[in-house]
Amino acid sequence: MATRSDIAVTPLPLAARQSQRPSSHHDGSPPTSFRNPWPSSQPIGLAKIISTRFLRSADKNNVPVPTDRKGLVTVRKPNWGMNSPDNLKATWIGHASFLVETQCLPGRARGLRILLDPVFSERTSPSQWFGPKRYTPTPCAVDELPDVDIITISHNHYDHCDSWTILEVWRASKARNRTPLIACALGNRAFFTNLLPDLATEDIIELDWWDGVQIDIKDIGSMELICTPAQHTSARGPNDKDKSLWCSWIIREAKTEGRSPKSLFFAGDTGYRHVNSAKPTDEEEDSMPHCPAFKEIGDTYGPFDLALLPIGLYSPRDFMSSVHCAPEDSVCIHQDIKSKKSIGMHYGTVRGGISAYYEDVLEPPARWKAEGEKKGLKWGEDIGLCDVGETVVV
Ligand SMILES: [Zn+2]
């Protein structure tokens, strides 16, 4: 891999259990498109998309977002955890956007900063004239972000990969004489080279599932970044369905004398099992095959000190379950990956194109808490939530 004077990127050997694996999520060699290679994922046809959006009515639950914000996520001004230099930190920017900072090493000014799926736009859509509109503001402007070392994107959907935000972060970084690395999954490189004409080959890392790199940044520190599976899909328009890969990410601090390195799992956007009913019974949920990738992630790289897991935009279940977790699924992922603490995300910020007609925005956090407690997890310790702008410290 190309190396910059300030950053060295070194491929990691494949984890032992993955090294003999055929690339069953690839279509073609080299791949021209991708798929979820598990029975826990079922394709949704165009007829189902149209009927779910426009025709079904019996199970629609069109509850408006509370105009007085009662029960909605609190937004606070971020301080990025600056008073906790000896911890791994994650600050929620809303939806699936986080700024993660690793522990600050002795003699350094700060830890490594990774900006995950940053979205600051008003709408998660190809245009700012239409499409899902955010109902919870961002906690700060792009220019108020601290210096960023790495931008990671989990997949190319508009609520995770926002051209305007990436351009703004890039512009703000360049104004401070910094060039962040961009990390994405296979098939996403062309999007970034088109978006950022001055993006150099060594500024972008494109990885397949289970690939990882060690990143050493001069005068700041080192970490490992590993691209891991998710059960999802991709597209930005009508002609690019599944032509780029989707992923989750693992961030592992490097081993340093006198410090125990921490690790973080970011699920991106993912489903866990497919169910056939809009409102499935517990028996139906339990009988459907689970996505095996999360147990593999837990067995290979767990336990994790912190996991950021999606808990919203799952209704109606028969339509969304293959690609979006319900809170009950996310509690299973918390256990599969061996997370010590999981924070819910992907809720409370913007309504999805379909879920807006079926899901009360107050439901995901309540179900996340209820399911965790049903499984014996301690609320606020094992699993929990945070405010937009709040920093979770582990
Ligand atoms: Zn998505």
Q: Which range, of 117-126, 172-181, 292-301, 322-331, averages the lowest pLDDT? A: 117-126
Burial of residue 281 (number of CB atoms within 10 Å: 0-12, 13-18, 19+)? exposed
Edge-to-edge strands of the sheet including 248-253? 7-11, 212-217, 221-228, 248-253, 263-266, 306-310, 342-345, 383-384
Rounded to the nearest angstrom, the distance between the alpha carbon of 305 and the centre of ligand 1 is: 25
pLDDT tens-digit profile of 91-113? 999 999 999 999 999 899 999 99
Rounded to the nearest angstrom, the distance between the alpha carbon of 131 and the centre of ligand 1 is: 14
Q: Which of 390, 387, 306 minimizes the C-alpha distance to 80?
A: 390
pLDDT band for 56, please (50, 70, 90 cuts): low
Rounded to the nearest angstrom, the distance between the alpha carbon of 346 and the centre of ligand 1 is: 10
What is the rounded average pLDDT of the residues 194-219? 95
pLDDT of residue 302: 96
Q: How far is the C-alpha of 232 from the C-alpha of 118, rounded, in Å?
A: 18
Q: Which range, of 50-59, 191-200, 257-266, averages the lowest pLDDT? A: 50-59
Tell me the whole-structure pTM to 2 decimals: 0.95
> pLDDT > 90: what percent of the chain?
75
pLDDT band for 127, please (50, 70, 90 cuts): confident
Rounded to the nearest angstrom, the distance between the alpha carbon of 96 and the centre of ligand 1 is: 10
Rounded to the nearest angstrom, the distance between the alpha carbon of 148 and the centre of ligand 1 is: 23
Rounded to the nearest angstrom, the distance between the alpha carbon of 84 and the centre of ligand 1 is: 32
Residues 379 and 373: beta-carbon distance below 8 Å: yes
pLDDT of residue 17: 66
What is the rounded average pLDDT of the residues 297-324? 94
Render the burial of 180-215: b for 16+ CB within 10 Å, e for the rest: bbbbbbbbbbebbbeebeebeebbbbbbbbbbbbeb
pLDDT surpasses 90 at 259:
no
Q: How far is the C-alpha of 115 from the C-alpha of 146, rounded, in Å?
A: 10
Q: How far is the C-alpha of 181 from the C-alpha of 152, rounded, in Å?
A: 8
Q: 181 Cβ partners below 8 Å, 6+ apart?
A: 7, 9, 149, 150, 151, 203, 204, 205, 215
Rounded to the nearest angstrom, the distance between the alpha carbon of 385 and the centre of ligand 1 is: 21
Rounded to the nearest angstrom, the distance between the alpha carbon of 347 and the centre of ligand 1 is: 13
Q: How far is the C-alpha of 317 from the C-alpha of 366, rounded, in Å?
A: 17
Rounded to the nearest angstrom, the distance between the alpha carbon of 28 and the centre of ligand 1 is: 23
pLDDT surpasses 70 at 139:
yes
Rounded to the nearest angstrom, the distance between the alpha carbon of 232 and the centre of ligand 1 is: 7
Kindly report the backbone phi and psi dihedral angles of residue 266, in degrees, each rounded to the nearest multiple of 5, phi listed first: -115, 115
Q: 116 - beta bridge partners?
A: 98, 152
pLDDT surpasses 70 at 213:
yes
Q: Which of 385, 374, 387 minimizes the C-alpha distance to 341?
A: 385
pLDDT tens-digit profile of 360-389? 999 999 999 999 999 999 999 999 999 999
pLDDT band for 15, please (50, 70, 90 cuts): confident
Q: 57 Cβ partners below 8 Å, 6+ apart?
A: none
pLDDT band for 123, please (50, 70, 90 cuts): confident
Task: Kindly report the number of other CB atoms within 10 A of residue 137's CB atom.
Answer: 13
Mean of pLDDT over the chain: 92
Rounded to the nearest angstrom, the distance between the alpha carbon of 329 and the centre of ligand 1 is: 16
Rounded to the nearest angstrom, the distance between the alpha carbon of 231 and the centre of ligand 1 is: 10
Q: If DSSP codes are grouped into helix, strand and coil, which group holds residue 244?
A: coil
Rounded to the nearest angstrom, the distance between the alpha carbon of 373 and the centre of ligand 1 is: 28
pLDDT band for 20, please (50, 70, 90 cuts): low
Rounded to the nearest angstrom, the distance between the alpha carbon of 370 and the centre of ligand 1 is: 25
Rounded to the nearest angstrom, the distance between the alpha carbon of 360 and the centre of ligand 1 is: 19
pLDDT of residue 14: 84
